[in-house]
Chain A
Amino acid sequence: MSETAREIEELAAASYEYGFSTDLDTDIAPPGLTEDTVRLISGKKNEPEWLLDWRLSAFEAWQSMKEPDWAKLEIAPIDYQGLSYWAAPKQKPVLESMDDVDPEIRDMFDKLGIPLHEQKMFSNVAIDAIVDSVSVTTTFKATLAEAGVIFCSFSEAVRDHPELVREHLGSVVPVRDNFFAALNSAVFSDGSFCYIPAGVRCPMELSTYFRINSQNTGQFERTLIVAEDDSHVSYLEGCTAPQRDENQLHAAVVELVAKDRAEIKYSTVQNWYPGDENGVGGIYNFVTKRGRAHTDAKISWTQVETGSAITWKYPSVILQGDRAVGEFYSVALSSKRQQADTGTKMIHIGADTTSSIISKGISAGRGQNTYRGLVKVLRSAENARNYTQCDSLLLGSDCGAHTIPYIEVKNPSAQVEHEASTSTVGEDQLYYCRQRGMTEEDAMSMIVNGFCREVFDELPMEFAVEAQRLLSVSLEGSVG
């Protein structure tokens, strides 16, 4: 493929469209992580005693844990003591309306193409914008309140709904779950909380935009979504970050609880700074996402991962109740020197539980893309069913695509299928398209978008558009 080398060079040269940084006055804690840091964070946020204790137990657990090394990732050592664990924009804590939002922050969102002042035109979408660690603005609260839906920042939830937070926090991802989850539990700054009462169908798509802004500041969001019996919610999360030369650490935890017959749909478009073609800069993204699905409940994860220098992320579903359903749809793109080790875990506990996994990995430049997944059928999971499909596309000869699934079945009535393929965009496919009068760039874009189609179809409309845009931006200049 003679064009490939040039395509890849151009792909690598495509600049990060969202690479800018806004000068915000931030209140930053000195670098380092000790018990005092944990107390400081908790104190800054006026947290109750039980939450401080919970953080401290996580911190204690974290100290005895080791960074996981099983992923197919080459990571320069992270100096956890060299980071600052607290940063808050200095501004009025409570805002009455959009107009009160810091103009610099508003401007930043404008550059991202998600202008806050136009968000009302966004059909029915409430945005809880987070800059660094503190929730800046929350909208559409009235509409949600009418339906009884609680959607607020994590800090507000701790203040206003402590009983709900206390009941569910750590119930899906315990503090000792893994190194990064423990770290997050100890120092999480803020995040989103969402509660859908029984029988309620959330009247709008919920979305949060996370954004890392300050240098040397890890961001540790915590998201908790609780959907009571017979409720329904669709949650969107999108991320972009400004260009920086230093690696930034991000360790988030997302917990979903879907009670009987409830449904949670969680969609992510992640486009943090991936670093340059030499692997300088870029976000380290270590995320623990997990949901617990009770009887007849459904949890669906959809992710489009195009950013970050390092992605370590396995959105999972514990299919606890009978007939629970878990889904995972993923597109992961690694170009430049990006490394992604991502996949899912489906733990079948209840009878007649079903899960499906569709994963599409695209490797270009010198990117390394790994699908790592676990499908576990426990003895109790009578008639469990899983279908997994993992496809990888290689664009260039210096990249890598890896598929590492684990399938563990302890019940004979289970039916588990796994299929995977790895291939490249064929010369013949491109030739065919060009013969039909398409430019090489259009042809490549069409083939890649076609490859991802099954996943894009699962995204809510606005995100599907953004995802396609992201993909074409990433592939821009890679052909033609």
Chain B
Amino acid sequence: MTTVAPTSPIEYPTRHDERWRYAPHDLLGRLSFGPPSASADKIPGPIGAQIPALDGPLIVIVNGVVDERWSNLTAIPDGLRLSTLADASADPAVPVVAHFNPDVDGAADVFMALNTTFGVDGAFVDVAEGQKLDAPIHIVDVAIPDETSNTSCTGVVIHLGADSSATIVETRLGGSEAFGGSNTRTTITLDDHSTLEHIVLQDMPSTQVHLGRVEVTQHAGSALRARSFNLGAIYGRLAYDVHLAGAGAHTDLSGLYYGAGEQTLDQQITVIHTAKDCTSRQSYRGVLDDESAGVFNGGIDVRPGADGTDAEQHNDNLLLSNRAEANTQPRLEILADDVACKHGATVGQLDANAMYYLRTRGIPAADARRLLVNAFADQAVDDIGIDAVRTWVRDRLGTPDA
């Protein structure tokens, strides 16, 4: 992978940076970066049990370097190139760099620069034109902090050729309880009329930080269905920048963040419409318990000339404790006139009437509460296309008890 030194002196974001307004800046300051250390023998056993078992190719990245022993790259179907990012970068026939998106909305930040500087490996997925892949591709990123650099950097590059389709699951985990984190950058290019289902499962230990970034460029008629589950980490951040660059592209982003303890779960979503007749949907739900905080900063940017845009955005939050908080900022920035854009945001608590109703039916308070919370969260879980992932998320959500 090409390494690019940061062009300007490293400046950490502050509370005055809109996209980092609610982040725990003290924790960010404690993250340290460096070249990846050798990861041999490091992967702890219990991690295996945390990884959802999917039928399909598996690539496991530990501290920013692919670990072949854990990966399963034997049954690669025709029309799919799945390799380490290091291998792909070394192959002159593969234009990896061409897939890195230009910074369309000026969202580049210091962590992206650090990722590009210190990230040397990751996964590379290239689906050939017209290929329809059935089995999901699973990319697992595991961070095991060590003393020299406690934060791993991983790159994932995904390219779908015209008229192809694929399903990709990215699972982000941590391999120890020590402070540290992972910084991942996923770059997705969807050629004309390709279709991608992309799922992110973030379940880092509650002592670690996760900074995840997904940059998408969609060409004409392509469709993205992105689902994110922001569940773990003391600070879990999932940023999506989706650029609808070709006419008639469609993007459908949804996610669930479910915080407890002292977690801060941050979603930074921007959809940029530059082409005509594109549609976008954003639907994010937050459940916040204990002293957790949820952040949703979602933007719809309609650039001049993007006529026929149809964009919607929803963010609903459920506060379960007196000390939990929800911060939501649904932005609309519209510079074209032939558009229909809507957004809505709500913050509330469990419906007292519904609780009462369930209790009169003999359901204990704790169970009633769980039922209602699950019903709220389930809107985000219900439409996961892969059974094993849906089960994994349901099991994971079943644990926070009332």
Contact = CB atoms under 8 A, between A and B. Distances in A.
B284 to A, nearest CB: 13
A98 B325 CA distance: 57
A396 B304 CA distance: 11
Which of the four size classes fits the interface of chain A?
35 or more
Interface string B332-344: 1111111111111
Contact residues of B: prevailing secondary structure? strand
B391 interface: no
A415 B347 contact: yes
Contacts of A421: 340-343
A417 B346 contact: yes
B331 A401 contact: no
B327 A408 contact: yes
A272 to B, nearest CB: 25
A329 B317 CA distance: 26
A379 B330 CA distance: 22
B329 interface: yes
A401 B18 CA distance: 19
B127 interface: no
Contact of A412 (B307, B319, B334, B345): B319
A417 B315 CA distance: 10
B87 to A, nearest CB: 44
A316 interface: no
A395 interface: yes
A397 B16 CA distance: 32
A419 B317 contact: no
Interface in B6-31: 16, 18
A413 B329 contact: no
B289 to A, nearest CB: 10
A422 B339 contact: yes
B220 interface: no
B334 A414 contact: no
Contact of B337 (A399, A403, A411): A399
A324 B103 CA distance: 46
Contact of B343 (A400, A414, A420): A420
Interface in A441-473: none
Contacts of A1: 337-338
A420 B348 contact: no
Given A418-B344, A420-B342, A392 B334 contact: yes
B345 A402 contact: no
B329 A404 contact: yes
Which of B319, B329, B331, B347: most chain A Cβ within 10 A?
B347
A3 to B, nearest CB: 12
A439 interface: no
Contacts of A395: 337
Interface in B286-311: 304-305, 307
A1 B307 CA distance: 11
Contacts of A410: 323, 325
Given A395-B337, A414-B348, A407 B331 contact: no
Contacts of B321: 412
Top 4 A-B pairs ranked by shortest CB distance?
Answer: A412-B319, A403-B332, A394-B337, A422-B341
A407 B345 contact: yes
Contacts of A350: none
